[in-house]
Structure 1
């Protein structure tokens, strides 16, 4: 049968058909995408890690991974949304030590049960918080700091990015284990703490590596020790607390989680894809630039680490007497 439609009319009809189909195609694409909740605002260190992971994981799974920033309440609002999501593998959470291991014992009224409402999938990267000081501080190592405090009997005034933060709890462990006087100055975040450290208003602080690294490299602050299980590759010269005679070796980490009751096949597929991603030299190098070490482990090993860390941090919260109003 001969098509008597004018060529221009046929083109218009074809274009109209494509436009009509486009919204459905967009909806279908959105439904197939994976949502990665980053429970902090855009632009911070956790957001950077989340976007690196989203890009690499999307390529590995041959799908789109969309980062959704849901900040507030030290990461627990975004975590609560992830916990309530349909457990079909389409909603994931970028969890950190603070929200997934410290918050359960520190914060009252959490809208989720951390131990029951999540599926641990993969550890993305880990590091230790670091003890830093103003360049003019007379101690250059944690050993020298301990000796100075014992000799002068003057309390070490130190800052952290908040009551109950990983930095606060690590420093309180140093105080207890070394038997030295220390006094905590809590700041509302890393930025004001860094400003006072660089300006000399406070001499000692606990920071995360990613925030401190540019200022260490610029000579504005100096690193005394790493409060983790191993030296960080970004600061290989800095010894760990344990190497310095302080029996503290608890790491801070970034991890990938899903809601509880995820189908085992879906959880295993995402976990294995994340494990492959974390072995990619390019991603490891990009994380290294942020002061983070990609040390891949299995899903079972990460689950064991996460649950053990909840117990460890609960003990540290109790020992420190940390409270959040």
Structure 2
């Protein structure tokens, strides 16, 4: 009798465990993945996020929803991902500004970038562009510098946020040339580009993905690109280095998750992203925005990300850039 009762209790306990687990499994199968793009719609992070989401959804057999959470150089959106359940249902499309520069500029972050995230997959890399309203009197960065020196007036420029790669690049130009600058931070490249077109600001440092359509349409003009070489999307536009500015650091986009994510889940997402980035159609779309896909292992991307945090911290110190 006792043995039968013990066996019965074991069966009941096993059934209870299965019943408790079953709803969680069903929710996971049906629940969409939330991909946080921590800048406003219309900019490079948003554009790349939507391209990636479509492919990831097909590979993972679910819906991937892009959630634009703009503000504070992407750290508002990043904070939500850092605090999210590590179940693979909340991911971050993290650009350099958020994942490598912000840690050196923001001293009151609600998370520890190096400890609260894991690198899942590199997505794309490339330069940014110094752009201007068509009516701006300078057509190159050397002309912009000469104009600032001649008038003694600061170059009033916009970037897609305090601590962004654009902010750091323009402050590096200031530090290297001795001109005066005045920074106007935006929450993303989309509204920045619209104000460049409208003439509310005359100069801006913009990510290529966000600026290219308007440059090609002649609504804004490109003065220079950052990076080690000219952009294949703008081969006629010189690099900053060609204009005598010793700044050739590139930017990137990467896929990240909460640090406590199980390795099996992280590996599944990383492999799906790798498959997506091999698709010729997606490669062509990314290149059309002046970027290049970034094939790299998770381990190598993790090393590059952490090394870039050190590099950008040094640039922050050298440029004297500060968060307002």
**Band the TM-score falls in, shorter-chain normalisation:** 0.7 to 0.9
Q: Which residue pairs with 2:279 in the alignment? A: 280
Task: Tell me if the contact between 1:155 and 1:180 (Cα under 8 Å) persists in the aligned partners.
Answer: no
Do residues 50 (structure 1) and 49 (structure 2) align? yes
Report the 3-state secondary structure (helix = DSSP H, G, I; strand = E; otherwise coil) of the residue aligned with 1:256.
Answer: strand
Q: Which residue pairs with 1:266 in the alignment? A: 265
**CA 1:41–1:171: 2 relative to 1, 3 Å:** closer
Q: 2:28 aligns with which of 21, 28, 31?
A: 31
What is the deviation of 1:174? 1.5
What is the deviation of 1:28? 4.9
Q: CA–CA distance in 1 between the matches of 2:65 and 2:199?
A: 38
> How many pairs does the alignment contain?
299
Q: Which residue pairs with 1:254 in the alignment? A: 253
Q: Which runs of 5+ in 1 are unaligned?
A: 1-24
What is the deviation of 1:54? 2.0
Q: Which residue pairs with 1:9 in the alignment? A: none
Provide the TM-score with structure 2 as the length reference: 0.79
Deviation larger for 114-123 or 259-268? 259-268
Q: Which runs of 5+ in 2 are unaligned?
A: 1-21
Q: Which residue pairs with 1:314 in the alignment? A: 313
What is the deviation of 1:39? 4.1
Q: Which residue pairs with 2:116 in the alignment? A: 117
**CA 1:199–1:68: 2 relative to 1, 3 Å:** closer
What is the deviation of 1:263? 3.3
What is the deviation of 1:37? 2.9
Report the 3-state secondary structure (helix = DSSP H, G, I; strand = E; otherwise coil) of the residue aligned with 2:278.
Answer: coil
Which digits, 9 at most, give the CA deviation of each residue in 1:256-306, with x for residues without a partner?
012224333433332233122112111122223444332322222321221
Q: CA–CA distance in 2 between the matches of 1:93 and 1:193?
A: 22
Q: CA–CA distance in 1 between the matches of 2:118 and 2:48?
A: 20
1:167-182 equivalences under 5 Å are 167-177=166-176, 179-182=177-180
1:143-292 equivalences under 5 Å are 143-147=142-146, 149=148, 152=150, 154-155=152-153, 157-161=155-159, 162-177=161-176, 179-189=177-187, 190=189, 193-200=192-199, 202-292=201-291
**CA 1:34–1:315: 2 relative to 1, 3 Å:** farther
Q: 2:64 aligns with which of 46, 57, 66?
A: 66
Which digits, 9 at most, give the CA deviation of each residue in 1:142-193, with x for residues without a partner?
344445555x26345131234333212101112222x241312314344554
Question: Once superposed, what is the RMSD of the aligned Cα atoms?
Answer: 3.0
**CA 1:41–1:195: 2 relative to 1, 3 Å:** closer
**CA 1:141–1:116: 2 relative to 1, 3 Å:** same
Q: CA–CA distance in 1 between the matches of 2:190 and 2:90?
A: 31
**CA 1:68–1:54: 2 relative to 1, 3 Å:** closer
**CA 1:36–1:291: 2 relative to 1, 3 Å:** farther
Q: CA–CA distance in 1 between the matches of 2:269 and 2:195?
A: 42
